[in-house]
Chain A
Amino acid sequence: MTRRQRKILLASPLLGFFALAFILTIGFDVGRHDIHPSSLLNKSFPEFELPSLHSQETIQLSDLLGEPRLFNVWASWCSACRTEHNLLRQIAERNDVSIVGINYKDRRHDALSWLFELGDPYSLSILDSSGDLGVELGVYGAPETFLMDAKGVIRYKHVGPLTEEDWTNQIVPILTSWD
């Protein structure tokens, strides 16, 4: 090994660490401002026909039209989904809006256990095990939340766990404007 190669080898941990520090910095940075991609806003909710999580029946978009729906994309492997779950349960208990769960790239068994354990805020649960509906919705990861109006148009999209502030400041005003 030449001197030069040896130098590079010994420097590699330092360079690797700088790469890591860079990732941590940007992670720290993106955590600060939440950017909402708007590509699907004001477009129709994609058509689908998928099995229900709880039974063998299939659910399609036309079944869900006629009232506003809050779609929540989640999975049992998604730790961020746990943080928003309590809020979803509160919303469901108050009957503010009907929440439809889209169980994304998950196993039915794991999903059911999860709901059993943490409570089930969803009036309907769609099993999207292949992630096809997720792709149509432009989902990159769980959790994501979409608000659809009675005609089937997406009016709001939220990426990441839903917080109390998101709910009161973003979603509630839209819902009250419809009433």
Chain B
Amino acid sequence: MIPELGHFAAILGLASAFGIVATGFWGAFTSQDSWVEMSIRLAKLQFGALAIAFLLLILSFLQDDFSVLYVANNSNTELPWYYKVSGTWGAHEGSFLLWTLVTACWTLAVALRSKNLPLDLHGYVLGTLGFLNVAFLLFLLASSNPFDRLVPNVPLQGADLNPILQDPGQVIHPPMLYIGYIGFAVAFSFGIAALCTGKLDSAWARWTRPWVNMAWGFLTIGIALGSWWAYYELGWGGWWFWDPVENASFMPWLAGIALIHSLAATEKRGAFKNWTILLALLTFSMCLVGAFLVRSGVLTSVHAFAVDPQRGLFLLGILVVVVGSALYLYFVRASTIRSRIQYWGMSRELLLLINNALLVIAVITIMLGTLYPIGYEWFNDGDKLSVGGPYFNRIFLPLMLVLAFFLALAPISQWKNTPMLLVKKSSILLAGSAVVALVLPWILWSSLNFGVACAVALALWIVATHCKSLWRQRNSLTLGFVGMVVAHVGFAIAISGVAVTSAFSDERDARLQPGQSLVLNDNTYELVDVGQTQEQNYIADRAHFSVNGGMSMYPERRNYRLRQTITTEAAISPGLFRDLYISLGEPIGNRSWGVRVQEKPLVRWIWFGAFVMAIAAMVACLDKRYKRLARRDAIKAATSE
């Protein structure tokens, strides 16, 4: 009964999504308030229906209802209750139900939070969001229904949740990512609405900016969580692999940064209007491409869901319809939107343009690297190929250093024209940062490395110029400005972490018997003993290490009984400046164990920097300007009609 109710709720969600499309577009097209009001009410209904559907699926998991195919495939009576709950989004069908719920959630937020929007804009935005969820829900119900029954042969036991997903990081990583991905659907809808109405002014940019910032913030947290999870769960201390699916989330992230910055120029200077719209459309399109890559089985990856040809075709259809029609609309309508005259020279506009150019090159680089294997396979009769990290690192890292260089100039730059004196002054700071960057790594890690010196110098320079302008403007601070400064400092923190941990990580492999120890740098790691532990759904070999005779660390090798899968649980001693990381390898012969010890300096700074950037992006939305000017814009829009 419960799965049937869930199925029905999902169908109700689809019906209300259809309703939102009809009422939203019709209300906007005929400028009738009552229709848009109706679409707001339908947005509430859609959210309610999908929330109930999702809760009922969770309930089926908690009740171990193995007559539901999806539950039988992804859960098990032995699973602790919290992994039963998270198992709901542990595989394709359930995670896609979550995807539609998140879409409904953003639609509801736009419906409720945009009272000040002009009627037609509001209608078009809601209608577009409704249209997207119609497509998603049709896909869900037609080819990936999580409520499908497995009768009459109901299994007594489920097949278990994939062991590497049985982890707290994995519980929150997908929802965060989805919130970010679909948040960009709001920007996409604002872009479509601007093309439909032909109105694109500062007010439009101000309405769009907070949504983009929120979406980007969530996506940042989602990606950082995924990276952090890979670091401690996959057990070999890597934190980024240029895996196709990571790239799929990274491309909209980079495009999102470009969008945030071009929106600033559009709001303040009326510049880059066409380009901003295009970015708004493309950022979400990349999210859809990402969803397609993950769920269609086109690429092989640790993330890929089960392959089903019908699904892939359906998703490809959604992709072509949504992105194709959006870009066609852009082609037809974009020429009606003109930017004001622009100022060049050493201006803030120019810096934002450089920022956008660099980020777009980065996105294209990653896209080529991700899709190249597919094209290669086709042109070479089915031969497969992987493009590895070396390609991405060689192109991407220098691009980011160039980006960091121009980023440091951001706070001293001014619209229209920046006095050269300010630029010259900041170059003194650069010289100082460069000296520190050369000396500091040498003192701390007693080695010199050109890449690290560049990255650290630029990071210090960014911090210096930003702190300086924060101080100069201390009496007239806005949250928007503070958000910008903090986000840029977060970027500086992250690139220092990436550079130092990539260059100065150290590691040693050894074969140890209990009682033996190995030395890495200044630390001694002694294997005290290895015992067996039994948990609810796995058995583990658990080693006890004593580091420097004091601290204890316990790396594990787990054997999950049902799937016969072995996972490595590294023991990590986290530190602000250095992580110690022990993983337990295979048993070798007589009481010996393979052991791998790593020391990773500043690795935590990567995630910390990402987190700082995400929070800063969200804080910037709270700038009072948005609220104050929104009211003024609303009055202006109302009187001009």
Give A residues with C-beta under 8 Å from B. 6-7, 10-11, 13-14, 17-18, 20-21, 23-37, 75, 77-83, 112-114, 116-117, 119-120, 140-144, 159-161
Contact = CB atoms under 8 A, between A and B. Distances in A.
B478 interface: no
A116 B596 contact: yes
Interface residues of B, number: 61
A78 B383 contact: no
Given A116-B594, A142-B386, A79 B244 contact: yes
Interface stretch (B265-273, B294-302, B543-551): B294-302
Given A79-B302, A117-B568, A117-B583, A13 B384 contact: no
Given A24-B374, A30-B377, A117-B585, A79 B241 contact: yes
B235 interface: yes
B316 interface: yes
A17 B285 contact: yes
- Top 10 A-B residue pairs of the complex, sorted by shortest distance between their CB atoms: A141-B385, A77-B388, A27-B374, A35-B382, A140-B383, A14-B327, A80-B300, A78-B386, A160-B384, A27-B298
A18 to B, nearest CB: 8
Interface stretch (B317-325, B344-352, B442-450): B317-325
Contacts of A28: 296, 298, 309, 312-313, 316
B382 A11 contact: no
Contact of B292 (A7, A24, A81): A24
B596 A113 contact: yes
Contacts of B380: 140
Contacts of B594: 116
A141 B320 contact: no
B235 A159 contact: no
Nearest to B566: A119
B83 to A, nearest CB: 22
A6 B337 CA distance: 12
A31 B307 contact: yes
Contacts of A119: 566, 586
Given A17-B323, A116-B509, A143-B384, 6 more contacts: A17-B324, A24-B292, A31-B307, A35-B381, A78-B388, A142-B386
B373 interface: yes
B406 interface: no
A117 B566 CA distance: 11
B389 A77 contact: yes
A79 B375 CA distance: 17
A27 B384 CA distance: 11
A31 B312 CA distance: 11
Chain A's interface: helix, strand, loop or mixed, by majority?
helix
B112 interface: no
B371 A79 contact: no
Contacts of B299: 27
B313 A82 contact: no
A11 to B, nearest CB: 5
9 contacts: A14-B331, A24-B298, A27-B298, A36-B382, A79-B301, A116-B594, A141-B384, A159-B383, A160-B300
Chain B's interface: helix, strand, loop or mixed, by majority?
helix
Contact of B278 (A13, A23, A29, A33): A13
A28 B319 CA distance: 14
B471 interface: no
A98 B308 CA distance: 34
A20 B364 CA distance: 12
A13 B282 contact: yes
Interface in B328-351: 328, 330-331, 334-335
B243 interface: yes
A80 B386 contact: yes
B330 A10 contact: yes
B509 A26 contact: no
A21 B509 CA distance: 45
B14 interface: no
B236 A77 contact: no
A36 B381 CA distance: 8
Instruction: Name the residue among A36, A119, A141 with the largest chain B CB count within 10 angstroms.
Output: A141
B319 A140 contact: no
A23 B388 contact: no
Nearest to A113: B236
B531 interface: no
A32 to B, nearest CB: 7
Contacts of B240: none
A110 to B, nearest CB: 9
A57 B68 CA distance: 56
B324 A14 contact: yes
Interface in B192-249: 235-236, 241, 243-244
B289 interface: yes
Instruction: Name the residue among B235, B281, B331 with the largest chain A CB count within 10 angstroms.
Output: B331
B581 to A, nearest CB: 12
B382 to A, nearest CB: 4
Contacts of A114: 236
A142 B383 CA distance: 9
B384 A117 contact: no
A27 B241 CA distance: 22
A113 B238 CA distance: 11
B390 interface: yes
Given A23-B375, A141-B383, A14 B313 contact: no
Contacts of A18: 324
Contact of A140 (B297, B309, B327, B384): B384
A33 B382 contact: yes
Contacts of B586: 119-120
A14 B596 CA distance: 50
Given A17-B323, A159-B383, A141 B330 contact: no
